[in-house]
Amino acid sequence: MAVPEQKQSATEARLSAMELPEPGCTRAAREAALARVCEMGLPSRRDEYWKYTRPDTLVDPVALPAAVFQNDEKPLFDGVDRLKIVFVDGVFDPDQSDDLSLEGVRIDRLEDICCKDIHWAKDLYGVLEARGHNPVPRPLAALNTAFASDGVAIHITQKVSKPISLIYRHASESSDAILHHVVRVEEGAEATILENGPAASRFNKCMEIDIADGGTLHHVRAQGRDHERRAVTHMFTRLGRESVYKSFTLTVNGVLTRNEQVIELTGDDAVAHVAGACVGDGDFHHDDTVFITHDAVNCESRQVFKKVLRNGAVGVFQGKILVKEGAQKTDGYQISQSLLLDDDSQFLAKPELEIYADDVACSHGSTSGAIDETALFYMRSRGVPEKQATDLLTLAFLAEAVEEIEDEALAGDIVDRLDGWLSRRA
Amino acid sequence: MLEIKNLHVKLEEEEKQILKGVDLTVEAGKVHAIMGPNGSGKSTLSYVLSGRDGYEVTEGSATLDGEDLLELEPEERAALGVFLAFQYPVEIPGVGNMTFLRTAVNAQRKARGEDELSASDFLKLVRERAKALKIDADMLKRPVNVGFSGGEKKRNEILQMAVLEPKMCILDETDSGLDVDAMKLVAEGVNALRDEGRGFLVITHYQRLLDHIKPDVVHIMADGRIVKSGGPELALEVEHNGYGDILAEVQ
Ligand SMILES: Nc1ncnc2c1ncn2[C@@H]1O[C@H](COP(=O)(O)OP(=O)(O)O)[C@@H](O)[C@H]1O
Ligand SMILES: [Mg+2]
């Protein structure tokens, strides 16, 4: 299929501003990814798949500047004992990071996987991304595979005692970062990966996660609060038999965010939960795009996405569950809801189910609504001031998504962030 | 305590007059009952007193200890001591009953310039009040009124009232949907709060609640007005003869 001319010139403009990193063992994967980018072309607003979100600022050769958010709240996950891996404007910073050794996990920088001959990482890099251009292309992920300048390979071999915490600091107003991580969870192993921070003015992140039979990965992330930052992220996850993947994302502020989750349940009895809570005020556009493939028996998938929008903020949800032939006893649940705090805000949802097996239970629902006036009056009649009552109802609305986080301390930190957002609003 | 004078209320959105000149004074320490046929405006009166949107006062006044209630926000009225036990208590998914109660207690204390209750004092107070109403720990933990039976919802209203200790308690058909045992619990809860400084306005459709909560004064409301007032015997008259006779008599 030929790439339309306009798309081709936009793609060429971006590519001509970039250079493939040093040759190394990922070179072949990067070249293949680059070929995919050229073949697909970078997204444009004409693409059906980008109907609700304008990709141009993610595609343009030069990133728009973004001011660094300052406030005196304590950093997220501050009280959590964790292994910190810090990136500043998309570059690993060994001085701010902890020693990377921890029992049950081996962590290497992407650039070291060749000299250290880390086979699993070489074999995973770009592989799930390449499989993930179905049913639609995700060229920004291929662009990431080709040009990622840093990242880590996380090999989880046992139950890891504390979370691995990826911290993305934003320092330069003109930073434009591309990070690519690969994660392998071995049989029966278990870990939690945390991510937080804005990373850069423009951030393109890709994480490929391969979970072997009986493995478990928890993922909790909070995207940075810098108002003008832009981000596109892809999580590609493949699950083996009886494995578990639970991912939660909090987004507070950010002029543009597109989070894609591409999940393949390939072994029987696997479980995948993805959840998101986002709160946006004003110049805020947040897009969750999820594609879950059930390709094994008796798997469970669950999507819970909640968005609170005000002052013209826009929320998008595109979620699809594909149940392949033979994926019997599939349990698929999807809910996407928005709470619109005024008439200016907007929620666009496109939930989809495609089912080729007969013994399945799938449900999806999408709603958009305002604060429940009756509940608001009830609370006020008990003496709770309007603002406080509205905040309580807002947190209650988000609760179903936040409750997807199993760890109470992490969930508590996320609720604190939401409280902070609410208290900054008059 | 509560003084309502010539209160006229219409719907904000429609040209529909609901209250057409209500006069009513509830003194501290007294229990007043309002009875009346469906649609006569009883719930409207309770909503207007507590500050619900959607109504427009076209004439008249309502004051609590001389303060103009109609000028105040619902939360300000609550802090002054107005409490409405809702005819249809509202479910609030995602907000725990305890969280809600504690937020309400402390918001009112703050509005009155008092210190917040400590977590342990609050817990003690709620446990004690809940026990008397046979509300168990599980009900306290659950989201406000979600999945509660009709009777549980009404008992939960009385629990809120017992914990908030308002000056002026308005109960809107708190007896509807209750079996005899639940009604006794509710009545005991109300009676336990009766004291010199507190007034009650008990709206009910039936006399039976008034067997348990003995009113000092009974009013009959019809078509947006108090058409007759009297002692407890008026409730019995309604019980025996219905509203027909009374309404015919006043027309
Ligand atoms: N929000 C409203 N919208 C439309 N009609 C209303 C509204 N509130 C009250 N009414 C009408 O006003 C009248 C009095 O209602 P209400 O106060 O509920 O009576 P009661 O509690 O005595 O049964 C009824 O005719 C009712 O339909
Ligand atoms: Mg009524």
At A119-174, the pLDDT tens digits run 999 999 999 999 999 889 999 999 999 999 999 999 999 999 999 999 999 999 99
The reply to whether A375 touches chain B by the CB within 8 Å rule is yes
Contact B175, B209 (CB under 8 A): yes
**Mind giving me the DSSP string for B81-111?**
TEEEE-SSPPPEEEEEHHHHHHHHHHHHHHH
Cα distance between residue A64 and residue B245, in whole Å: 80
The per-residue pLDDT for B185 is 87
- Ligand 1 atom 27 nearest Cα: B39
CB contact under 8 A, A396 and B50: no
Token pair 């595609």 in the structure block, residue: A59
Chain A residues in contact with B74 by the CB 8 A cut-off are 377, 380-381
Fill in the amino acid letter for B244. G
Q: Under an 8 A CB cutoff, do B108 and A385 touch?
A: no
Q: Is residue B40 lining ligand 1, measured as CB closer than 6 Å?
A: yes
Question: Does the ipTM exceed 0.90?
Answer: yes
Protein residues within 5 Å, CB atom, of ion ligand 2: B 43, 87
Mutate which of B43, B57, B173, B219 for ligand 1? The one with the most ligand atoms within 8 Å of its CB, which is: B43
Q: Is the CB of B38 under 6 A from ligand 1?
A: yes
Residue type, A146: A
* pLDDT, tens digit, 9 for 90 and up, residues B161-205: 999 999 999 999 998 888 888 888 889 989 999 999 999 999 998
Residue B173 CA: nearest ligand 1 atom is 21
Minimum-distance ligand 1 atom for the alpha carbon of B37: 22
* Backbone φ/ψ region at A140: left (φ over 0), alpha (ψ -120 to 50), beta: alpha
Mutate to test the interface with B, among A337, A379, A382 (most CBs of B within 10 A): A382
Which of A383, A392, A397 is nearest residue B75 as measured by Cβ atoms?
A: A383
Residue A380 to residue B75, Cβ atoms within 8 A: yes
- First-to-last alpha carbon distance for chain A, in angstroms, is 52
Taking CA–CA distances from B81, the nearest residue in chain A reads A383
Ligand 1 lined by B160 (C-beta under 6 Å): no
Mutate to test the interface with B, among A306, A372, A381, A404 (most CBs of B within 10 A): A381
Q: What share of chain B is helix, strand, coil (3-state, %, to 5)?
A: 40, 30, 30
Q: What ligand has the least distance to the C-alpha of B55?
A: 1
How many residues does this entry show for chain A? 426
What is the DSSP secondary structure assignment for residue B118, as one 8-state letter? P
Query: In this predicted model, what pLDDT tens digit does every residue of A297-334 receive, in sequence order?
Result: 999 999 999 999 999 999 999 999 999 999 999 999 99
CB B1 within 8 A of CB B65: yes
CB-nearest partner of B90 from A378, A392, A397: A378
Residue B198 in contact with ligand 1 by CB distance below 6 A: no
Cβ B39 under 6 angstroms from ligand 1: yes
- Would the pTM of this model clear 0.90, i.e. be above it? yes
Centre of ligand 1 from the C-alpha of residue B44, in Å: 6
Q: Would you call A378 and B50 a contact, using CB atoms and an 8 Å cutoff?
A: no
Instruction: For residue A1, name the pLDDT band (cuts at 50, 70, 90).
Output: low
B43 lines ligand 1 (CB under 6 A): yes
Specify the pLDDT at position B251: 67
Q: Assess contact for A377 and A346: CB atoms under 8 A.
A: no
For residue A409, name the pLDDT band (cuts at 50, 70, 90): very high
Residues of B in contact with A380 (CB under 8 A): 51, 73-75, 78
Residue nearest to atom 2 of ligand 1 (CA): B11
- Minimum-distance ligand 1 atom for the alpha carbon of B44: 17
Q: How far is A401 from chain B (nearest CA, A)?
A: 11
User: Is the minimum CB–CB distance between A397 and chain B shorter than 8 Å?
Assistant: yes
B55 three-state secondary structure? strand
| pLDDT tens track for A259-302 | 999 999 999 999 999 999 999 999 999 999 999 999 999 999 99
Looking at the complex, does the CB of residue A415 fall below 8 Å from at least one CB of chain B?
A: no
Phi and psi at residue B180, to the nearest 5°: -60, -40
User: Contact, A417 vs A250, CB < 8 A?
Assistant: yes
Is residue B54 lining ligand 1, measured as CB closer than 6 Å?
A: yes
Residue of A nearest to B80 (CA): A383
pLDDT per position as a tens digit, A36-88 = 999 999 999 899 999 999 999 999 999 999 999 888 888 899 999 999 999 99
Q: How many CB atoms are located within 10 Å of the residue A6 CB?
A: 11
* Pocket lining: B170 vs ligand 1, CB cutoff 6 Å: no
Q: Do the Cβ atoms of A379 and B86 come within 8 Å?
A: no
* pLDDT over 80 at A366, yes or no: yes
Q: Is the CB of B41 under 6 A from ligand 1?
A: yes
CA of A197 to the centre of ligand 2 (A): 53
Residue A278 bridge partners (DSSP): A251, A307
Residues from chain B that touch A372, judged by Cβ atoms under 8 A, are: 92
The 10s digit of each residue's pLDDT in B27-54 is: 999 999 999 999 999 999 999 999 999 9
Residue A33 pLDDT greater than 70, yes or no? yes
pLDDT at residue A349 greater than cutoff 80: yes
